[in-house]
């Protein structure tokens, strides 16, 4: 009789321990599954603002009226070419890549492991999504670490606006 | 009588057992709470550090808006007049202009680079050089930098050209 009661108590104790372990596991699973944190970064925002003033090698009307980087987003969307015959989208792609790599210096063995650059045309600024002006430029893999993010102001273009986003990790 | 005494002692034992389990449970909860609070505190500390650094970066960036640096050719808040910065070089009147706690004021070109990024600009190599040092007190300092657009007049072709650069500020003490 005493033996049975002892066994019952052990079973009860094990049940309590298992219950606590299950609750802890559920809590851990929820905290690990939380989406990747995206934090606004002053450095990235300053970089984007300064990079948009960069004078490119592309003149849209005449030489030496070289376009600034921000002008090329609109020109690329409209399918314009530079005076020297180069495609504005190609110049845009090359310049953005060069600026990001020189300015932020990403690399597998560096503090900044990767980045994703996006330029999107929004017909209506209150709507999400939009049409990509150039294919997103990516380097490295930002899927599992803290992401720092910089978003440019909306730049008017045609009847809509252009928004530029750079995420780094 | 014997039976009721035995029952009472067993009841006390049960209550004691329950008390021990409760105490153990509370200790466990306490340990979990301490662990959680320590993680939160370290995150908060790191966030505070980041905010402090970002405020310092904003302050450095504000330098680009001062008359000594500002590019007035276009409406551009992030543009620095590289020609003006070059003219400020070696001016003794500016050595204490930003206060004694400022040990380093430097404007660096980031992209494109012509040769070495540490090539100091002189009248001979400007604008194809790496950096202009306005103040360097050769003291230990904490440095903060901010991205700017470096604009200058390009004599060959007669147009203004903006490139990517940084303002670097070295602060001694707090």
* pLDDT tens by residue, A123-162: 876 666 678 888 888 888 777 666 788 887 777 877 888 8
Statement to judge: residues A147 and A119 lie in one domain: yes
Give pLDDT, residue B86. 93
CA A32 to chain centre: 21
Q: Do A65 and B159 touch (CB under 8 A)?
A: yes
Statement to judge: residues A7 and A55 lie in one domain: no
CA A69 to chain centre: 19
3-class DSSP state of A20: helix
- Compute the distance between CA of residue A53 and CA of residue A70 in angstroms, rounded to an integer: 7
Statement to judge: residues A51 and A133 lie in one domain: yes
Q: Do A50 and B165 touch (CB under 8 A)?
A: yes
Q: Do A64 and B154 touch (CB under 8 A)?
A: yes
pLDDT (mean) for A77-102: 94
Mean pLDDT, all residues of chain A: 85
Nearest CA in chain B to A2: B10
pLDDT bucket at A3, cuts 50 / 70 / 90: low
Statement to judge: residues A46 and A30 lie in one domain: no
Interface ipTM > 0.95 = no
- Compute the distance between CA of residue B105 and CA of residue B85 in angstroms, rounded to an integer: 11
pTM comes to 0.80
Statement to judge: residues A2 and A85 lie in one domain: no
What are residue A59's DSSP bridge partners?
A: A66
- Looking at beta carbons, which residues of chain B come within 8 Å of A98? 111-112
B137: distance to nearest CA of chain A, Å?
26
Rank A9-18, A26-35, A53-62, B16-25 by mean pLDDT and report only the highest.
Answer: A53-62
Q: Please report which helix (H) or strand (E) contains residue A3, including its range.
A: helix A2-33
Query: Residue A104 burial by CB count (10 A; 0-12/13-18/19+): exposed, middle or buried?
Result: buried
Statement to judge: residues A15 and A73 lie in one domain: no
Examine the pLDDT at B1 and tell me if it is beyond 90: no
DSSP string, B93-111: GGTTTT-TTEEEEEEEEEE
pLDDT (mean) for B61-89: 90
Statement to judge: residues A53 and A106 lie in one domain: yes
pLDDT (mean) for A29-56: 84
Statement to judge: residues A111 and A70 lie in one domain: yes
Statement to judge: residues A8 and A78 lie in one domain: no
CA A107 to chain centre: 16
Q: Do B151 and A53 touch (CB under 8 A)?
A: yes
Statement to judge: residues A24 and A86 lie in one domain: no
Per mean pLDDT, which range of A11-15, A92-96, A99-103, B134-138 is the poorest?
A11-15
Spell out the alpha helix ranges (H) of A36-169: 42-51, 69-77, 88-104
Query: Which candidate in B164, B166, B167, B169 is best for mutational testing of the A interface (most A CBs within 10 A)?
Result: B164
Chain A residues bordering chain B (beta-carbon distance below 8 Å): 9, 13, 16, 20, 39, 41-43, 46-47, 49-51, 53-55, 63-66, 68, 98-99, 102-103
Sign of CA dihedral B117, B118, B124, B126: positive
Statement to judge: residues A14 and A45 lie in one domain: no
pLDDT bucket at B85, cuts 50 / 70 / 90: very high
Examine the pLDDT at A33 and tell me if it is beyond 60: yes
- For chain A, the domain total comes to 2
Statement to judge: residues A63 and A115 lie in one domain: yes
Give pLDDT, residue B5. 64
Domain of A42, in residue numbers = 37-168
- Compute the distance between CA of residue B48 and CA of residue B69 in angstroms, rounded to an integer: 30
């Amino acid at each position: 009789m005493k033996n049975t009661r002892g066994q019952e108590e052990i079973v009860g104790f094990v049940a309590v321990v298992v219950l606590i372990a299950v609750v802890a596991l559920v809590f851990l699973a929820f905290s690990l599954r939380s989406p990747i944190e995206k934090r606004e970064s002053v450095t990235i925002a300053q970089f984007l603002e300064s990079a948009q003033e960069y004078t490119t090698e592309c003149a849209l009307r005449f030489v030496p009226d070289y376009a600034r980087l921000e002008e090329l987003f609109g020109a690329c969307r409209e399918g314009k070419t530079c005076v020297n015959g180069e495609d504005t989208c190609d110049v845009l792609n090359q310049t953005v890549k060069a600026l990001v790599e020189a300015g932020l210096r990403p690399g597998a063995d560096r503090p900044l492991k990767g980045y994703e650059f996006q330029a999107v045309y929004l017909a209506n600024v209150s709507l999400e999504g939009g049409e990509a002006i150039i294919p997103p430029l990516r380097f490295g893999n930002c899927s599992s670490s803290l992401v720092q993010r910089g978003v440019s102001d909306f730049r008017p273009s045609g009847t809509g606006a252009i928004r530029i986003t750079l995420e780094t990790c | 009588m014997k039976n009721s005494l035995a029952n009472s002692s067993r009841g006390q034992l049960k209550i004691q057992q329950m008390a021990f389990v409760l105490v153990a449970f509370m200790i466990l909860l306490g340990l979990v709470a301490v662990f959680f609070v320590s993680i939160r505190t370290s995150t908060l500390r790191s966030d505070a550090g980041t905010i402090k650094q970002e405020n310092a970066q904003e302050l450095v960036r504000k330098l680009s808006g001062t008359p000594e640096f500002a590019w007035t050719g276009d409406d551009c808040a992030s543009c620095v007049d590289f020609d003006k910065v070059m003219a400020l070089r070696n001016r003794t009147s500016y050595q204490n202009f930003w206060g004694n706690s400022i040990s380093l004021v430097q404007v660096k070109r980031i992209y494109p680079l012509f040769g070495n990024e540490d090539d100091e600009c002189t009248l001979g190599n400007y604008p194809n050089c790496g950096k202009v040092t306005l103040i360097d007190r050769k003291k230990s300092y904490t440095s903060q930098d901010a991205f700017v657009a470096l604009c200058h007049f390009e004599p060959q072709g007669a147009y203004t050209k903006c490139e990517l650069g940084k303002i670097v500020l070295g602060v001694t003490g707090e």
